[in-house]
Each structure stands twice: as structure tokens, then as C-alpha cells.
Amino acid sequence: MPSGTARRYHDRTTHSPESVRTSAHTLDWDVKPFPFKVYTELPARALPRELDPVAADALAAPAPAGTRTSLETLAALLYYSAGVTRKKAYPGGGEVLFRAAPSTGALYQTEVYVAAGEVEGLEPGLYHLCPGDFTLRRLRSGDVRQALAVAAADASVARRAATLLLTAIYWRNTWKYQARGYRHLFWDSGTLLANLLAVGDALGQAPRVLTSFVDADVNRLLGIDPAREAALELVTLGPEGAPAPPVTTLDEIRHPYMPLSSDEVDYPLLRELHAASSLESPLAVTAWRRGGATGPRAAEVTSGVLVPLPAPRAAAGRGLGETIQRRGSTRQFGHEALTAVELSTALGWATRPVAADVPQGLVDLYLIVNAVEGVAPGAYVYRRDAHALELVKAGELRRESAYLCLEQPLGGDAAAVIYFLAPLDDVLGAFGDRGYRLVNLEAGIAGGRAYLAAYAQGFGASGLTFYDRLVVEFFAPHAAGRDAIFVTALGRSAAGGRVTIGTTLGRPRRPPA
Ligand SMILES: Cc1cc2nc3c(=O)[nH]c(=O)nc-3n(C[C@H](O)[C@H](O)[C@H](O)COP(=O)(O)O)c2cc1C
């Protein structure tokens, strides 16, 4: 049963024209958090830099599962999901190291850890990835998969070759976005997962996402400070082998790391929601999964006019590794149209099933179509069952779309804008407060996949934030009972219809030092 914490949090962190205009928040650049977590007393182990370029077509079906997991495979998975793919210097001396997956404000609060068991070339242990120098540092030696399996109430965790653990460091994001940053933890781990799932599938690793586990036990295993950083998702990888041996004792660990900044602000609202949505025991994990199995699904049945979409493309003609290497959020869309096949492929890709411990389909995709060949401008909802667009209202809506996206021109200039909406109260009724994590994560993964499908096809995308209630009112009455969760815009870059990209491209085999 929901405690009301998630609903309260959601309502207190909505954006409105008034809240944006009256916000007194300013960015304190003196305490901007450092973008990398660097353990100061652990030796760094360099990951291979001669990477598998993941040449499989970016839109191909998953490769057959069962391929062994090697250190080289692991390096490719880590690089193409969390690695530094390009650098940009700014006037005044600032430099941003952009990563493989998009992230709100380029703040990169998602950290990645690896519980390695049967990884060829890597001793069993628990490791932390530092994308800055592309190294692993070992936090624990010995196989921890069995302890993780108990915390996740899932015996397969002890048999798969490795598990990646995604966490978030709150302050990296709340520095800019305050308590609203809790939503971003799931949007951004979702976009990272979109890449990880695609690369894992392409490399025959059969990645599977676990959203449920005993939070405190996983945090303790990682040795992270739960007031500042928390585990969000686990991803099991690689072939199943014999189960890892049981772990008798796990010492407390608290390896020192470089402070992120000289000062930080605590946002109790965020911590309260994380605590309220935590699971306390393996039994609670199992019960939660069972409870959600009968949960709500986004409604598919209405009587609007259906506009059929052509079949999605089965191939992009561009490799997945190259697609990720070239990705970068579009900073200005031109008004050039997308084809119906391009939109169809992006929608089909965004909503492909995710191998996970929970069912998907909790989030609906509403759209504003500004310029798509063969689809009249207007507002629609995507009907997955029919792979069609259902008309909500017809007309030119560029001005409205920009306004809904926090008055950002990107929302009006894009060819199509996906608004992810969820029947939040129903989801919270079925999954409790943890359902809040689920809807934001599902939208983040779908948004990340839309990005990949766009870049694979040679056009661009950008995640966007939005005026919560105005979005729901705009799609009313169709969207009654739903809340706005996330937005992704699609279109051709104003820079000649090509993707907007950085400078260090074309040689995916060598991540920058
Ligand atoms: C969840 C999410 C929300 C975003 N929201 C906005 C936004 O409101 N406005 C904007 O201009 N860019 C937005 N972006 C784009 C980020 O600023 C961009 O991902 C980040 O600067 C990293 O750059 P890159 O995507 O080019 O690698 C968003 C990205 C994500 C993943």
C-alpha cells in the first residue's frame, strides 16, 4: 500500500510557470560536485582500451545468449553505457567530459559497480568503475554474487557471470535540481540502462534488470553512505554457470574517496521517498514482485481515430557502437520533417520489452507531432497494441509544445515530442511507493532507447523537462488520471539535418584518456 510519500513528493516537486518564475535557487559554482567518484586508497586497474566496436546493426534483434563474459566484453559494456565519449572545452576554462548516455544537466550522478564472478581475465570481486580514467578499483575481493542473490531474492544472480550495480550520488544532481533530482536518478539510470541493454543484447550477454532488492543490504555490500548514495538497479549478465559459493561473513567496508565538493545541501524530501520506497527483507522483495504482477497497465482501449504507422525498420545500416559514439543531445532542431518510418522505428524501439523482474507498460506515450510525413500535425497517443497513433486533437501545436517543455524552443522545433504519462495513483496502489521508481525508470529507459533509435537512423533527440500539470491538462480529457513523467523530443538538427555531435568521433576503439 502506498504511504502517500511518493504522491506528496511528486506534487511538491512539480514545475509550473509560477514555481519556475518564483524560484530563488541559484547555482553555487564553488561547490559544484566533482563528476567522478575516486577511491583514494585503492589501486586502479586499467580496463582494456582496445574495445569490441559493437559493430552489430544498432537496430538488430538480440544476439543469441550464452556468449562467455570476458574482461573485454565487460569493458565494452561499461564504455558504451557509462564511458567518457567526448570532451568539450568552454570559454573561461571549463571542460565537460560527456558520457555515452545522456544525463540531466550533464551531471552524471549514476555510478556503476561490478560484482564479478565468472569473468575471464578478472578475479572474482566487487569493483567500482571510474569512467574518468576508465579503470576499476576493487572494493572487495572474493565472489559476492551469493550475498547479492540473497539481497535480490533471486537465485539466478549467483549463477550469472556478473552483475552490474547502478547507484546514484544525490548531491551531484540536487546541486542543480534540488529535490526534483530524485526523478532524475531514474531518468538518467534509465538512459544508461538503455545503452547497457542494447550493448548487452548485441554481445550475447542477455542482460536482465532487477528493480527490487533489499536496499540496505545492497548499499552495505557496496560500502556506500546511504544518506548520500543509493543502489537503484542491478543488471545480471552473461551465461549461467554453477552457483557461486556461499559467503560466510561480509565485513563492513567504507573505503575513503575524494570529497565531491567542500559543502553540500541535504534534501530530506528525497531521502524520505527513498526510505519509504525501500524493501526491508528478501521476503518483502518476493511479496512486492508478486503484488506488482497483477498491477495496472496503461489503458489501450479508446475510441479515437487510428493513424496506422508503417512497420519499424529492422536495420539502421549503422553499428550500435558507432551510434553511441556519435550520440549527443540535439541542441537545436530545424523544422524539417521526419518520415513516418523513422518515427515508427523510434516508437517501436522505445517500447520493446525489457527483460526484468517486473512487467512494463506502466507508462503511456503521448505525442505532439509537428512535422512527420504522412501524419497530420496534432496531439496523439501511441497505441502499442496496434502500432498506430490515436488522434487526441488535430492542429499546429509547435507553440504549445515549446511552452509545455518549460518554454524551451527544443519542444516546439522538434518534429515530434514524446510525453511519457503514467496512471501514477494506480501504479502506487499496486506497487506502493516503489512504483514511483518504476514509472520514472520505465520512461527513462524508453527515452534512452528513443535516443538510440534516432541516432541509429541519422537524426537527433533530446530529453526535456516540462510543466507537470499543464502537460496533463493539455492531453485532457484523454489523459485523465495520469501524471506527466518525462519528455523526449525527436527531430533533425538545425545543423543541416545531421546529428549534433562532438569532435572525438570515428574511432570507437579508443576511449579518450
Ligand atoms: C532525463 C534527461 C532530461 C533532460 N532535460 C533537458 C532539458 O530540459 N533541456 C535540455 O536542453 N536538455 C536536456 N537534456 C539533455 C542533457 O542536457 C544532455 O544529455 C547532457 O547535457 C549531456 O549531453 P549529451 O546528451 O549531448 O551527451 C536532458 C537529458 C536527459 C537524459
d(C-alpha 147, C-alpha 234), whole Å: 13
- Cα of 104 to ligand 1 centre, how many Å? 5
Nearest CA to ligand 1 atom 10: 464
Strand segments, DSSP code E, in 329-447 are: 364-369, 378-383, 388-394, 416-422
Residues having CB closer than 6 A to ligand 1 are 98, 102-106, 187-188, 191, 328-329, 408, 410, 462-465
Of 88-92, 180-184, 406-410, 451-455, the one with minimum mean pLDDT is 88-92
Which of 12, 176, 210, 209 minimizes the C-alpha distance to 103? 176
Residue ID of nearest Cα to ligand 1 atom 31: 103
pLDDT exceeds cutoff 60 at 264? yes
pLDDT band at 505 (very low <50, low <70, confident <90, very high): very low
Distance CA 490, CA 346 (A): 9
Residues in the chain: 513
Question: What does the pLDDT look like over 137-177, one tens digit per residue?
Answer: 999 999 999 999 999 999 999 999 999 999 999 999 999 99
Output the residue whose Cα is nearest ligand 1's atom 19: 102
Compute the distance from residue 464 Cα to the ligand 1 centre, in Å: 7
Alpha-carbon distance 424 to 363, whole Å? Answer: 9
* Å from CA of 3 to ligand 1 middle: 32
Identity of residue 323? T
Considering the chain, tell me which residue range(s) the CATH 3.40.109.10 domain(s) occupy. Answer: 26-292, 306-491
Task: Return the closest-CA partner of residue 383 out of 311, 442, 299.
Answer: 299
Name residues whose C-beta falls within 8 Å of residue 290's C-beta, 6 or more positions apart in sequence: none
Nearest atom within ligand 1 for CA of residue 191: 31
Cα(101) to ligand 1 centroid in Å equals 10
pLDDT in tens, 330-354: 999 999 999 999 999 999 999 999 9
pLDDT per residue over 382-433, tens digit each?
999 999 999 999 999 999 999 999 999 999 999 999 999 999 999 999 999 9
Contact 449, 436 (CB under 8 A): no
CATH number assigned to the domain covering 26-292: 3.40.109.10
Backbone dihedral region for residue 471 (phi beyond 0: left; psi -120 to 50: alpha; all else: beta): alpha
Ligand 1 pocket test target in 329, 333, 403, 442 with most atoms within 8 Å of CB: 329
Closest ligand 1 atom to Cα of 405 = 8
Helices (H), ranges, 464-507: 468-474
Which one is the CATH code of 306-491: 3.40.109.10, 3.10.450.40, 3.30.70.260, 3.40.50.2300? Answer: 3.40.109.10
C-alpha cell at position 66:
550464452
pLDDT beyond 90 at 501? no
pTM across the whole model? 0.95
Q: What share of the chain is helix, strand, coil (3-state, %, to 5)?
A: 35, 25, 45
Omega before residue 226 within 30° of 0, cis: no
| Ligand 1 atom nearest 502 alpha carbon | 26
> Which residue matches cell numbers 544508461?
192
Distance 29 CA to ligand 1 centre (A): 19
C-alpha of residue 329 to centroid of ligand 1, in Å: 6
Q: Are 343 and 372 in contact (CB under 8 A)?
A: yes
Coil, strand or helix at 85: strand
Angle at 368 between CA 366 and CA 374, to 5 degrees: 110
Distance CA 208, CA 224 (A): 23
Among 406, 462, 490, 500, name the best residue to mutate to test ligand 1's pocket (greatest count of ligand atoms within 8 A of Cβ): 462
Query: How much of the chain exceeds pLDDT 90, in percent?
Result: 90
The number of the ligand 1 atom at minimal distance from the alpha carbon of 448 is 31
Alpha helices, DSSP H, located in 123-267: 145-151, 170-177, 181-202, 215-222
Average pLDDT, the chain: 94
Q: Which atom of ligand 1 is nearest to the CA of 408?
A: 9
DSSP-derived 3-state class of residue 429: helix
Separation of 264 CA from ligand 1 center, angstroms? 23
Q: Are 472 and 482 in contact (CB under 8 A)?
A: yes
Atom of ligand 1 nearest to the CA of 406: 8
Ligand 1 centroid – CA 170 distance (Å): 17
Find the 63 Cα to ligand 1 centroid distance in Å. Answer: 30
* pLDDT tens digits along 231-251: 999 999 999 999 999 987 889
Provide the pLDDT confidence category of residue 93 given band limits of 50, 70 and 90: confident
Sheet holding 160-169, edge to edge: 44-46, 135-141, 125-130, 110-116, 160-169, 229-240, 208-210
pLDDT tens readout for residues 100-140:
999 999 999 999 999 999 999 999 999 999 999 999 999 99
Q: How many CA atoms lie less than 13 Å away from 128 in the CB half-sphere?
A: 27
E runs forming strands in 254-317? 306-308
